[in-house]
Chain A
Amino acid sequence: MNDEITDNPEDPTPRVTRRSFLGLVGMGTFGAATTRTRRPRATNATTPPSTAAAPTTAAPATLGSTTVEATTVPRIPNTPGILVMVTLYGGNDGLNTLIPLDAAPYLTGRGALAYKASESLPLAEGLGLHPNLAGFKGLWDTKQLAIVRGVGYPNPSRSHFRSQDIWSSAVPATFERTGWLGRWYDSVSTDPLGMAAIASSVPRFLIGRKSSAVVVGGATASGGSSDFKIATRLLSQPDDSLGSLAARVRSTSADLGRVDTVFGPMLASQSSVSIQTATLEPGAVARAGNVLDDQLNVVARLIKGGAPTRAYAVSLGGFDTHANERANHARLMTILDQAVTGFLRVMAGDPNGQGVTVVVYSEFGRRLAANGSAGTDHGTAAPMFVAGAKVKGGFYGDQPSLTDLDQGDLKFTTDFRSVYSTLLSGVLGADPLSALDKPYANLGFL
């Protein structure tokens, strides 16, 4: 037994449930009856032009990549780039998120799950957004939303867990314990506060060789009597007895002390940040919160407070829409849209927020053809969404063909590592080779 395998390759990726989050934050305002979170199933979409070009740039391009420092939107000089990764667990239906308008294979394959062109929010090039992504449409219109189409990797795994591992490690061919952002951070610092997950455990992509992310909720201190606090500090001192897991128990406790010292005051003084109300028209009634709002609320408070954190992880689950997809996916699209849009609106009003880039992705898309349960089974390539003041809005990567399929699934056109490479240089100002095995094309959206 060793460290390599205590991180079990088949460990599921951590999630945040609304329940765990609220418990942590102590937000008593959301009544149980209104916060019921059934595992959703999804809806679907309209399809891209049936004339979509064949997949093209699947191969990692060479570099020489013009590491673009985009400045289409004014921002404060020297504001450090901050990356906020929004993971959609379960396999988001890319075809019903970025909808191919009036495309016959989509309409035929999806049947009642398909969105008509008239229902969607049209963008360009025969594509439109899910009707509930009105906020994303607004970001698109102001050129702050990049949509990278057909993102995937060779020999796609249709296993949630394997594919999540691949997206986390950025190593498709073998099992790799560390994550792509963890490896980046190894090259930057050992301060545990540099990466933070709003979750109940650390997602693999924020695990490095030397350090891994702290996990933060709304509270940071356990309280207690003074002797308990003193003893807790003594417990967190290094001690090499009992092996590596025991050492980890101690170091995690020490990290919690750092979280409390640095993040505690920020969370306390910034408690009035409201992502929910940022999405509302004046006079509208605040809706019940959603789990992604709550997580991004913590992120917003830390960023406004000037936290030294460069990479954040938040997540939304429920995308494994094998049955009754339409209503459930639609509900998730609303949650995603309102939370991300509201968060970016809060960020836009804060000096530290100018450097924030939000990335939305999932472990795979879903099959073109619906199943008989009014749902869709596991698929492959799907769009990624990148939003923020630094982003050069528009489409990147080619839309996958709806007729040239791999076992009924889309063939990817854009390697996910080229997206990561672009984020590493464009947001984090890093050499992509600190995290990736070789050079990948810079897609130019930053």
Chain B
Amino acid sequence: MASTIDPSIAHLYRRAGFGGTPGDLTVGTAAGYAATVDRLLDRSGPDDAEAVRLPDLIPLYFGPAPTAAQTQQITAQRQSQARLLTLWWLDRMATSSSPWREKLTWFWHNHFATSNEKVDSPPMMYAQNQYLRTNGHASFEALTQGMAKDPAMMVWLDSNTNRKGRPNENFSRELMELFTLGIGNYSDADVREAARSFTGWTVDRGAISTSLVQAQADYDTKTLLGQTGAFRADEVISLLVHQPFAAAHVTRNLWSRLAYPVLVDDPVVAELAPAFAADLDATKLVKSIFMHPKFVSADAKTGLVKEPVEWVVGTLRALGLTATQMDSGNPSILTTLDLLGQRPFLPPSVGGWGQNTYWLSTQTSLARQRFAQAIAARADLSWLDPRAPTQSLDALATRLGIEKWTPNSLAALAATTTAKSLVAIALTTPEFVLN
């Protein structure tokens, strides 16, 4: 990377976004680290991502007795919508000029992981996605309240069939284990009691709305986390998010995705969680992470592998292409994400996706090699000197936000004989596979 770029600015742009453009990094270096953090967290300006056209998303129904042909047609239409919705989000990530908003939405998609595989409604998945995008920066309490009544979430974790008398524990358990408290900080009895508080809701899949059927709601007394009362759904959420465990759990998850993985008892969690517990303000917590000395430490800079979505979006941003442009080709961007094991809107479970070594397997190596060649073949590489592309290693490093090539990578890059191979190899170097 050109010596005029501050490596911490490049690091910040990778973690708070999907990699900065050379222009971003130059401006950020001139403005300084703290000012760049503020700029990234600022939501007031325009965002180029708004130019990405949302596909038509229409709720589609199977009739009361669909024929095989009707079922096939509707299924195909839903799949088409899901594909377009996924490309839409990837294109927002690839083109955003205010990338923290998309990155934070991505974080919450993993935290409140919901899969269209069961929801089976692209319009509903879009509604949840937009809710996270609009509310993810503010109060964690309000966000969790909203997610508890989000139609896609209600379908995903069966809140829509949770009825008084024989409650369904699915949402209650994951709410405590994954969304708020973290495992070990509640009992199975708490799960059962809270499940009663979430009874009575139904989802209208056409209107994408929810409503409470009072006769099916359990308004009787419950005992939860040692407290007794006729807790309603919103009261349970309030009780949970104000437990100190919840602040620690969310702090741990954010730190782990932005800096490097930690356990909940890590000192950095103990240091940052109390302030978050006081106001549950997500943006203040994130700022405290970005401004923490350990966030720019050597451990942090080599402490995360790019998740597949981060890697493919990073390649798009570096080479100036969109997801839609890479929808064709062999392999396409969505096929690549499938091979890598991470497709937006299809987390493998409510636990979301793993980290780091989870993404390092012989299969993911293969998938990265294949896509790197495909996108290098598609990209405009005229900024590399066609007669001596390997003389352009500094320019390439700056493009990819890489501070310095390792000896191995230098040897490999030098062995390439075309600009396409040079770029493809650069995208598979450990430097670029790390985040």
- Residues in chain A within 8 A of chain B (CB atoms): 1, 5-12, 14-15, 17, 19-20, 23-24, 32-33, 36-39, 89-90, 157-162, 197, 199-202, 214-217, 219-225, 227-228, 230-232, 234-235, 237, 239, 241-243, 245-250, 252-253, 255-256, 259, 317, 320, 322-323, 369-375, 377-378, 407
Select the residue from B166, B360, B431 with max chain A CB neighbours within 10 A.
Answer: B360
Asked if B129 is at the interface (CB within 8 A of a chain A CB), the reply is: no
Return chain B residues, CB-CB under 8 Å to A1: 260-262, 299-300, 303
Asked if B324 is at the interface (CB within 8 A of a chain A CB), the reply is: no
Interface pair A235/B357, CB less than 8 Å apart: no
Interface pair B412/A234, CB less than 8 Å apart: yes
Interface pair A371/B434, CB less than 8 Å apart: no
Return chain A residues, CB-CB under 8 Å to B350: 160
Return chain A residues, CB-CB under 8 Å to B430: 235, 239, 242, 245-247, 249-250
- Give the complex CA separation of A314 and B371 in angstroms: 25
**Stretch from B47-55, B203-211, B332-340 contacting the other chain:** B332-340
**Stretch from B99-107, B115-123, B140-148 contacting the other chain:** B115-123
Q: A33-B76, A224-B369 are in contact. List 7 more A-B contacts (CB 8 A).
A: A20-B338, A38-B117, A224-B421, A228-B421, A235-B429, A239-B407, A243-B303
Interface pair A246/B362, CB less than 8 Å apart: no
Partner among A10, A201, A228 whose Cβ is within 8 Å of the Cβ of B341: A201
Asked if B331 is at the interface (CB within 8 A of a chain A CB), the reply is: yes
Task: List 14 A-B pairs, Cβ < 8 Å.
Answer: A1-B262, A6-B355, A17-B338, A19-B343, A200-B340, A228-B373, A230-B415, A232-B412, A235-B409, A245-B302, A252-B364, A253-B365, A371-B169, A378-B169
Asked if B34 is at the interface (CB within 8 A of a chain A CB), the reply is: no
- Give the complex CA separation of A224 and B415 in angstroms: 14
Return chain B residues, CB-CB under 8 Å to A249: 305, 360, 365, 430, 433-434
Interface pair A17/B348, CB less than 8 Å apart: yes
Distance in angstroms from B315 CB to nearest chain A CB is 15
- Give the complex CA separation of A158 and B348 in angstroms: 18
Q: Which 5 A-B pairs have the closest CB atoms?
A: A200-B341, A372-B166, A11-B354, A12-B351, A246-B430
Residue of B nearest to A220 (CB): B366
Return chain A residues, CB-CB under 8 Å to B299: 1
Residue of B nearest to A221 (CB): B366
Select the residue from A9, A162, A323, A377 with max chain B CB neighbours within 10 A.
Answer: A377
Given A158-B173, A222-B366, A237-B408, A17–B346 Cβ distance below 8 Å? Answer: yes
Give chain B interface residues in 157-211, CB to chain A under 8 Å.
157-158, 161-170, 173, 177, 182-183, 188-189, 191
Partner among A8, A36, A159, A370 whose Cβ is within 8 Å of the Cβ of B356: A8
Give chain B interface residues in 225-283, CB to chain A under 8 Å.
256, 260-263
- Give the complex CA separation of A333 and B159 in angstroms: 26
Interface pair A8/B431, CB less than 8 Å apart: no
Asked if B370 is at the interface (CB within 8 A of a chain A CB), the reply is: yes
Interface pair A37/B117, CB less than 8 Å apart: yes
Asked if B406 is at the interface (CB within 8 A of a chain A CB), the reply is: yes
- Give the complex CA separation of A253 and B349 in angstroms: 28
- Give the complex CA separation of A305 and B360 in angstroms: 26
- Give the complex CA separation of A221 and B361 in angstroms: 14
Return chain B residues, CB-CB under 8 Å to A317: 348-349
Residue of A nearest to B347 (CB): A12
Asked if B219 is at the interface (CB within 8 A of a chain A CB), the reply is: no
Interface pair B168/A231, CB less than 8 Å apart: no
- Give the complex CA separation of A372 and B167 in angstroms: 6
Return chain B residues, CB-CB under 8 Å to A227: 415-418, 421
Residue of B nearest to A33 (CB): B72
Asked if B75 is at the interface (CB within 8 A of a chain A CB), the reply is: yes
Asked if B363 is at the interface (CB within 8 A of a chain A CB), the reply is: yes
Distance in angstroms from B120 CB to nearest chain A CB is 6
Asked if B411 is at the interface (CB within 8 A of a chain A CB), the reply is: yes
Give chain B interface residues in 130-162, CB to chain A under 8 Å.
157-158, 161-162
Residue of A nearest to B165 (CB): A372
Asked if B33 is at the interface (CB within 8 A of a chain A CB), the reply is: no
Interface pair B163/A372, CB less than 8 Å apart: yes
Residue of A nearest to B73 (CB): A33
Interface pair A202/B361, CB less than 8 Å apart: yes
Residue of B nearest to A243 (CB): B302
Given A231-B425, A235-B408, A242-B302, A8–B165 Cβ distance below 8 Å? Answer: no
Distance in angstroms from B293 CB to nearest chain A CB is 14
Interface pair A377/B169, CB less than 8 Å apart: yes
Asked if B312 is at the interface (CB within 8 A of a chain A CB), the reply is: no
Interface pair B418/A200, CB less than 8 Å apart: no
Interface pair A23/B261, CB less than 8 Å apart: no
Given A8-B354, A232-B428, A245-B305, A38–B120 Cβ distance below 8 Å? Answer: yes
Interface pair B161/A323, CB less than 8 Å apart: yes
Interface pair B168/A372, CB less than 8 Å apart: yes
Distance in angstroms from B147 CB to nearest chain A CB is 18
Asked if B359 is at the interface (CB within 8 A of a chain A CB), the reply is: yes
Interface pair A5/B357, CB less than 8 Å apart: no
Return chain B residues, CB-CB under 8 Å to A14: 341, 348, 354, 358
Return chain A residues, CB-CB under 8 Å to B412: 231-232, 234-235
Given A227-B417, A371-B166, A235–B428 Cβ distance below 8 Å? Answer: yes
